[in-house]
Chain A
Amino acid sequence: MSDVIDRPMLDQEITAATRLKIIDCDIHPSIHAHSDLNEFLPKRWQQHLKEYGSHLRTPYIGTTPYPRSSPLIARRDAWPPTGGVPGSDLDFMRKQHLDPFDVEFGILQVLDLFIFSQQNLEFGAAIQRAINDWQLAFWAHRDPRLKASILVGQDGSDLGLAEIDRCAKTGEYIQINVSPRANEPLGRRRYWPIYERAQELDLPLGIHVGGYGGHAPTGGGWPSYYCEEHQSNAHTVASNLTSLVLEGVPERFPKLKIVFIEGGFGWIPATMWRMDQHFERFRSEVPHLKRKPSEYVKQHFWFTTQPIDEPDEAKHLRQLIEWVGIDRLLFSSDYPHWDYDDARFAFKTPLTDAERRKIFNSNARAVYKF
């Protein structure tokens, strides 16, 4: 059996897939040049950036995460014709992604400058401020579809709280982003002040995979290959989900909404099944939990869909979606990265119109209150 595609893109195909406007929960804008940040970064830190650069929690000093799979982990067709790096040119992003897919809202996820992993917390905080301001000035204010997140390095939590408050006052940011690779698992109490503030402000907590944690990203140590490292994104998210649930974060902050971004969703059912099974056996160890772990997952957590899993049989993807819960999934493309998902072709299983509407639009609309 060969799935040979030998037809052009038909008009009805374009409209069928994009008939409903899409909310894309993961778009990566890039800084065109570090000097773009100058207007938001005090001289003292501009100088610091120039002289010392990043000091990260990575054991491989001086390494950067690039290239991985392809230059700047980007689609090879995403380099703007005007020059600059993928994701740095708004007009090109509009032309290549926002317009043809009829993106109603696109949520920006900035990875530049490894904000979350800066060891110098004050430098990290200055970069966070600059990037948070840059997201508005360079993106959200130029295209109202694009929405910014408040980036917060959770390890300097007083600095982070100040930044959350500063940004929240503007009323323009739609979530608070923290790193999945912090110094400790995300459920630990040291991070609770951030969760408390997120709940007070009614802003979802976004956790996008990636970055450096200083710890090996897998329980088995440091991976040898990118192929292996990419796989570890799912483990990292799974261990943080487990930590958040079992340490009682949703129990303690019942209104907090948590969104895991770019971790995929294939691993979720087994993680829930296992947590529930252990909960039955070891309930006395975690008496602060009032409900089965899966109930917390199904009420407080959402997951973006990319990178989508591609089981051999379409019906297995279908089952997976049902096990996770159709109301838990938020479409994301990961534009302009190499493992981008195309809204028209990524779900290789039939979805009803109602299901499409949920995954591609209304779930995110409810979480982010668009």
Chain B
Amino acid sequence: MARHIVARISEIPAGCNKVFGLEGRDIVVFHVNGEFFALLNRCPHEGAPLEKAACVARLTSPEPGIYQRDRVGEMLRCPWHGWEFDMRNGQSWFDPKRFRIRSYPVAVESGAELQKGPYVAETFPVHIEDNYVIVEV
């Protein structure tokens, strides 16, 4: 898997996302509660752009009248038909065996570390104090 530096963390503020064209596919990187998740920017149902998805909580109900919200902001609700996906692994919340979004490993590394590697030289010559978001494709 190739590692791509896609952005400085400051370029994807919390609660936002950004789309990157990596190796011919559009990959959307979400920043939620201090974590980053990368997914194919395309719903497996009819292909909607997931960058426009709502980042919602997981809502469960053990019995009628009792509702629980957790994992706030970590569930993606497709902008078209509303299918929900777990941002961590792309798993569909509905019919999880059949559908999931392709997800990609994401890492955050400091510029100082990156400078040691092969990735930085021309691309990010300055701001080595920043942290960068790395997506593996």
User: How far, in whole Å, are A346 and B42 apart by their CA atoms in the complex?
Assistant: 15
Main secondary structure of the interface of B (DSSP, over half): loop
Could you say which residues of chain A place their CB within 8 Å of the CB of B48? 75, 77, 342
Say yes or no: is A352 at the interface (Cβ < 8 Å to chain B): no
- Of residues 149 through 177 on chain A, the ones whose CB sits less than 8 Å from some CB of chain B are none
A342 near B47 (CB under 8 angstroms)?
yes
A3 near B81 (CB under 8 angstroms)?
no
CB < 8 Å neighbour of A75 from B24, B44, B79: B79
- Of residues 6 through 54 on chain B, the ones whose CB sits less than 8 Å from some CB of chain A are 24-26, 40, 42, 44-49, 52-54
CB < 8 Å neighbour of B79 from A2, A5, A76, A341: A76
A70 near B82 (CB under 8 angstroms)?
yes
Contacts known (A75-B79, A76-B52, A340-B80); A3 close to B44, Cβ less than 8 A: yes
Q: Report the interface size for chain A: residues with CB under 8 A from the other chain.
A: 22
Could you say which residues of chain B place their CB within 8 Å of the CB of A341? 46
Could you say which residues of chain A place their CB within 8 Å of the CB of B42? 5, 9
A345 near B45 (CB under 8 angstroms)?
yes
Could you say which residues of chain A place their CB within 8 Å of the CB of B127? none
B47 near A2 (CB under 8 angstroms)?
no
Say yes or no: is B97 at the interface (Cβ < 8 Å to chain A): yes
Say yes or no: is B58 at the interface (Cβ < 8 Å to chain A): no
- Of residues 74 through 113 on chain B, the ones whose CB sits less than 8 Å from some CB of chain A are 79-82, 90, 97-102
B102 near A6 (CB under 8 angstroms)?
yes
A4 near B79 (CB under 8 angstroms)?
no
CB < 8 Å neighbour of B46 from A7, A70, A76, A342: A342
CB < 8 Å neighbour of A345 from B47, B54, B101: B47
A345 near B102 (CB under 8 angstroms)?
no
- Of residues 75 through 97 on chain A, the ones whose CB sits less than 8 Å from some CB of chain B are 75-77
Q: Which chain A residues have a beta carbon within 8 Å of chain B's beta carbons?
A: 1-9, 69-70, 75-77, 338-342, 344-346
Q: Which chain B residues have a beta carbon within 8 Å of chain A's beta carbons?
A: 24-26, 40, 42, 44-49, 52-54, 79-82, 90, 97-102
Among all A-B residue pairs, the 4 with the closest Cβ atoms: A76-B79, A6-B102, A77-B52, A8-B25
